[in-house]
Amino acid sequence: MLDPFVAILREELNVKTVTIAPLTATSAEEHGVTKRLTVNARAAGPRLGGDVQRVIQAARAGEWHASGDTVTVGGITLLSSEYDLVLEVAEPAGALRPAAGTTGTIAGLGRPTASTAESAAGAARPAAGAVGLLADGGFVLLDTHPSPHLEAEGLARDVVRVVQEARKQAGLEVSDRITLTLTLDPAGAEAAGAFRELIAAETLATTVTVLSEASFTGATVNDRKDRDARRVGESSLVVVTLEAR
């Protein structure tokens, strides 16, 4: 059902890959997804009276089941306002993580369809991350562990943002071409260098020179008051020098 919209999902969710998989009886187990039921004692107490503590203990012991919108705990059916049902995903020992980095898996959207990557049965189980419940009983998993490649790309996109700000401050027109020099700490320089083409394309730079400056390592913006340094990535600094062509 969603296969034709994978590109839209990937762009809007800012993920590298999206896998659409059919929902089966074992989908949750295959992806390490569990459901945790919490009884809202304040809401359930007035109706259940003394049974509320028994219901709470039964929920903690896993003695409950859900059928559609109905949840029964220890033989007592709860109202929708009397409980919270939360999906959780754990990272089991040896869980596989796609090398590309952040990924999304959507299980249970309509009839079984051809997967955009691998089927649920054949796909690597995503590492621990975010999980969301869909209205039809399916779920969405998001691997929130960025790979080194994605971290480098994130830094490069931060550099693009800083360069765009510098272009505006310089009074350049949107279509003006520039030559660009970037000075970063060694780790930042390596990351920016790996995405030199992306930086050039996004900033209309005809040339991109990346310089490594050891004194930037561990420094803060305040440490560099004499220079127009900006924070990029998790812990890097960049100084942008540009000239209009």
Q: Which secondary-structure segment (H or E) carries 129?
A: strand 129-133
Q: How far apart are CA 183 and CA 241, in angstroms?
A: 8
- CA angle at 177 for the pair 176 and 178, rounded to the nearest 5°: 120
Q: What are phi and psi of 11, to 5 degrees?
A: -70, -45
Q: Across residues 8-28, what is the average pLDDT?
A: 84
pTM: 0.60
Give the tens place of pLDDT for each residue, 175-186: 999 999 999 999
Q: Which secondary-structure segment (H or E) carries 13?
A: helix 6-13
Q: Would you kindly state where each structural domain of the chain is located, as residue ranges?
A: 3-143, 148-244
The pLDDT of residue 224 is above 80: no
- CA angle at 32 for the pair 98 and 62, rounded to the nearest 5°: 170
The pLDDT of residue 66 is above 50: yes
Give the tens place of pLDDT for each residue, 94-131: 333 333 445 565 555 432 222 233 223 333 444 446 77
Answer for the pair 58, 17: CB distance below 8 angstroms, yes or no: no
Q: Which amino acid is at 47?
A: R
Q: How far apart are CA 168 and CA 170, in angstroms?
A: 5
For residue 117, give Cα distances in angstroms to 18, 107, 121, 157. 7, 13, 12, 26
